[in-house]
Amino acid sequence: MSFAGKVWRLLVGIKDGLVLLFMILFFMGLYAILTTRPSPGQVHGGALLLDLDGSVVEEASETDPLQVLLSQEMPAGEYQARDLVRAIDAAATDDRIKAVVLDLSRFVGGGQVHLAEIGASLDRVRAAKKPVLAFANAYVDDGMMLAAHASEVWVDPMGGAVVAGPGGDRLYYGGLLDRLKVNAHVFRVGTYKAAVEPFIGGSMSPEAREDASNLYGALWEEWKADVKKARPAANLAQVTGDPVAWLAAARGNSALAAKQAGLVDKIGDRVAFGNRVAKIVGPDSWNPGPGSFAYTELAPWLAANKPDKSGKAIGVVTIAGEIVDGDAGPGQAGGDRIADLLDDALNDDLAGLVVRVDSPGGSVMASEEIRRAILRHKARKIPVAVSMGNLAASGGYWVSTPAERIFAEPETITGSIGIFAVVPTFENALGQWGVTTDGVKTTPLSGQPDLAAGLTPETEAMIQGVIENGYAQFLTLVSKSRGKTPEQVNEIAQGRVWAGGPARQIGLVDQFGGLDDALAWTAQKAGLKKGEWHAKFLGSKPDAYHSLLQALMGTNEAGGQAPAKDLVALLSSQQADLTRQLSADLDRLTTSRGAEAYCLICPRSPQAGSQQVNSRLVRILGALSRD
C-alpha cells in the first residue's frame, strides 16, 4: 500500500505540474496577444508607410493558426480597401504625417474598383499639399494604377513596368474529358452563361466571346482613363500599342523605357528612394541606417484613427468572395454565417442597412438564404441599399434584389443572371476497365444520380427542370426589384455580364457611387443628418491570432515575407494564377454542388491564400488517383 500510495502521489504531482504548465502557457499566450495588438502609441509621425505585401480585398480572411504553425509561414497579406482609404484620408489632415509612402515591391494586386477608391484617396492627400511617393522593383497593371496617383514614382534600376491590360486565356477541359471518357452532364439556362463551357468544349462560344470582349473592353477603357487622368504625360498608346518597339528604343532597359514613357519619374534603388523620403519627413531615429526615414505603419495608424461611432447605427453586411453553403468566411460568403449576422442584428435597432457585395456568386441556396435574411430587415421598414464593389454577378446580384437603391461604380461587374449545374458521370471510363453496373430499381430515380452508371433520362429531365425553375425565380426577383417584366429582364439576362456603365443604362443599377454614397443615401432615407449616424460593420472584428502568429513567425505587419520581384518574376507569377484556376475548376467538377448562379468570365481579385488553394488541388488529385 505504501508503494501504491507513492505512485499515486507521483501521478497526482505530474498532473498538477502539467495543469500549472498549461495555465502558464495560456496566460503567456493571452498576454502576447494583448501586447502585440497595434497601439496608437506606436505612431511616430513622419511618413505613413503602406508596405503592401499582398493584395487589396473587400474583406480580409481570418488567419488559421493550425495551418500557419504546420506550414511555418504566414499567408500573404490582405488589406481591406476601406481600411486603406480611411488611413490615407486621416493622413491628409494630420500634421504628424508629412507624406504617404507606397512600397509596392511585393504588391499582388486588387480589384479595379478598390484600386480606383484608393487612388482617389491618394489624390486627396496631394490636394492637401502633401507628397505621395511610390517605389517598386517593377510595376504591372494593378501596381501601376496605384502608383500613377503618386507625386513621385520610383523604380529600381533593374526593374521596369509593363501594362498588359485585362483579359487572357483560360483552361478548357472538353477534349481531356472526352479522352478520359468522363461525361460532364451540363444543365443551364442562359445563352451567355459561360460557366459550364470549360467542361463541354475546347474553346469559347461566340456568345461568351462577345460578352467577354464587351466586358474587358469597358474595364480597359476605365483603367486607361484613371491612369491618364492621374498621369497625363504617360504615353499609354506607345506602351500598349507596340511594346516591343517601345522597349527596343531604350535598348532593352525596361526601367529607362518606363521613365521615357512617363510611367515613372525616378530610377533608383531602395536606399536612394529612402534618402529622398528622409529629406521630406526626416530620418528614422529609432532604426537609423542606409535609406531609413521616419515612418508610421498602417496598423498603429488605424488604431489611432478609429471610425466615429456617434449617433444611430446603420448596419453594413459584407458579402465577399464566392457564396457557399454553410459557415465559411470571412473571405468567403457562407450563407449560414451571413444570415446569422443579419438575424443577430435584428435586435440592434439599426436605422438602415447597406449590403456591400463583392462576389461572383455561387450557391443558389446560400444566395436565397442571405436574401431572405435581408428581407427580414426590410420588413422592419428601414431603408435597405446595396453597394456593389468589384463584382456583384450571378448570386451576387441575387442577394442584391431586396435593395431599394443599388449603387455601383463604372468598373463594377454585374449581371450574369443565369443558373447552371454540372454532374460528372464515369460509366464510359469504368467500362474501359471492364467495370459494369447492375441492380434492381423500383423507380426511374432509384440510385440516382449514379456517377458509375450514368444518369437516367428522367433524372436529366428533372435536373434541367429545376434549373429552369431557378432561372424563372431569378427573373421574377429581378423584375420585381427593378420594376420590369420578366420578359424585359430575360432580354438583358441570359447569363450576360455587364460593366457598371451599361448596367446603369439598362436599369440593373440605379446610380454610380461607392459605399459612402450608399450609406449617405440610407441615412437620408432614415431622416438622419450628417453627424447623427455611423456605419456599423456586422461581424467585423480583429483577427485574434494574426498579431501573435506574426510575432512568432517574425514577419512584418502585412503577413508573409514574399520576396520583392523583378519584372520577369512578376510576369511569371501568372503560373500561380493558372494553378488556382485548375484547382478551382477541378473542385467545381468533382465536388458535390447544387444549382449555382456563378460568373466564370468575371476577372478575379488576386487570392492571397495560395497555400489553401494548393492544398485543395493536392486533395482533389489524390482523390482522383485512388484505386
Would you state the pLDDT for residue 605? 59
Mean pLDDT score, 111-120:
97
Q: How does the average pLDDT of the chain come out, rounded?
A: 85
Q: Are residues 281 and 167 in contact, defined by beta-carbon separation less than 8 angstroms?
A: no
Q: CA-to-CA distance for 507 and 532, rounded, in angstroms?
A: 32
DSSP string, 392-435: EETHHHHTTTT-SEEEE-TT-EEE---EEEEEEE-HHHHHHTT-
pLDDT at 618 over 50: no
Q: Among residues of the chain, what percentage have pLDDT more than 70?
A: 80
Task: Tell me, yes or no, if 441 is annotated catalytic.
Answer: no
Neighbours of 422 (CB within 10 A): 18
For residue 363, give Cα distances in angstroms to 60, 351, 357, 603.
21, 30, 15, 19
pLDDT at 276 over 60: yes
Structure confidence by residue, pLDDT tens digits, 346-403: 999 999 999 999 999 999 999 999 999 999 999 999 999 999 999 999 999 999 999 9
Give residue 234's region: left, alpha or beta (phi > 0; psi -120 to 50): beta
Cβ partners under 8 Å of residue 52, min gap 6 = 77, 79, 102, 103, 104, 106, 107, 558
Give residue 252's region: left, alpha or beta (phi > 0; psi -120 to 50): left
Would you state the pLDDT for residue 195? 76
For residue 102, give Cα distances in angstroms to 143, 230, 428, 479, 582.
10, 16, 56, 45, 33
Q: What is the CATH number of domain 44-163+234-304?
A: 3.90.226.10
Sequence spans of domains, the chain: 1-36, 44-163+234-304
Q: CA-to-CA distance for 50 and 284, rounded, in angstroms?
A: 16
**Three-state secondary-structure class, residue 134:** strand
Pick the catalytic residue from 98, 193, 484, 565: 193
357 forms beta bridges with 319, 388
Local confidence band at 575 (pLDDT 50, 70, 90 cut-offs): low
Show the beta-strand stretches assigned E in 458-566: 497-499, 511-512, 533-537
Local confidence band at 549 (pLDDT 50, 70, 90 cut-offs): very low
pTM of model > 0.95: no
Q: CA-to-CA distance for 134 and 273, rounded, in angstroms?
A: 9
Pick the catalytic residue from 55, 61, 387, 394: 394
Q: CA-to-CA distance for 465 and 537, rounded, in angstroms?
A: 39
Enter the DSSP assignment of 235: -
pLDDT at 39 over 80: no
Q: 312-320 and 533-537 as β-strands: parallel, antiparallel, unpaired?
A: parallel
Give first-to-last CA distance, the chain, whole Å.
57
DSSP string, 239-263: HHH-HHHHHHHTTT-HHHHHHHTTS
Q: Are residues 314 and 517 in contact, defined by beta-carbon separation less than 8 angstroms?
A: no
pLDDT at 535 over 80: yes
Least confident stretch, 43-47, 219-223, 401-405, 583-587:
583-587
Structure confidence by residue, pLDDT tens digits, 495-521: 899 999 999 999 999 999 999 999 999
pLDDT at 558 over 80: no
Structure confidence by residue, pLDDT tens digits, 137-184: 999 999 999 999 999 999 999 999 999 999 888 889 889 889 999 998
pLDDT at 242 over 70: yes
597 forms beta bridges with 362
pLDDT at 616 over 50: no
pLDDT at 625 over 70: no
pLDDT at 574 over 90: no
Mean pLDDT score, 265-293:
94
Per-residue three-class SS string for 425-449: ECHHHHHHCCCCCCCCCCCCCCCCC
Task: Tell me, yes or no, if 228 is annotated catalytic.
Answer: no
Least confident stretch, 128-137, 428-437, 500-509:
428-437
pLDDT at 533 over 90: yes
Q: CA-to-CA distance for 518 and 523, rounded, in angstroms?
A: 9
Q: 312-320 and 77-80 as β-strands: parallel, antiparallel, unpaired?
A: unpaired
Mean pLDDT score, 478-498:
93
C-alpha cell at 546: 494574426
Q: CA-to-CA distance for 317 and 72, rounded, in angstroms?
A: 33
pLDDT at 621 over 50: no
Q: What is the CA radius of gyration of the chain?
A: 27
Burial 427-455 (b: 16+ CB within 10 A, else e): bebbeeeeeeeeeeeeeeeeebbbbebbb
Would you state the pLDDT for residue 5? 66
Would you state the pLDDT for residue 15? 73
Neighbours of 233 (CB within 10 A): 9
Would you state the pLDDT for residue 606? 60
**CA-based angle 535:539:541, to the nearest 5?**
90
Local confidence band at 609 (pLDDT 50, 70, 90 cut-offs): very low
Q: Are residues 38 and 284 in contact, defined by beta-carbon separation less than 8 angstroms?
A: no
pLDDT at 483 over 50: yes
Local confidence band at 291 (pLDDT 50, 70, 90 cut-offs): very high
Q: CA-to-CA distance for 614 and 582, rounded, in angstroms?
A: 10
Across 62-76, 155-169, 260-274, the highest mean pLDDT is recorded for: 260-274
Least confident stretch, 122-126, 200-204, 221-225:
200-204
Would you state the pLDDT for residue 615? 39
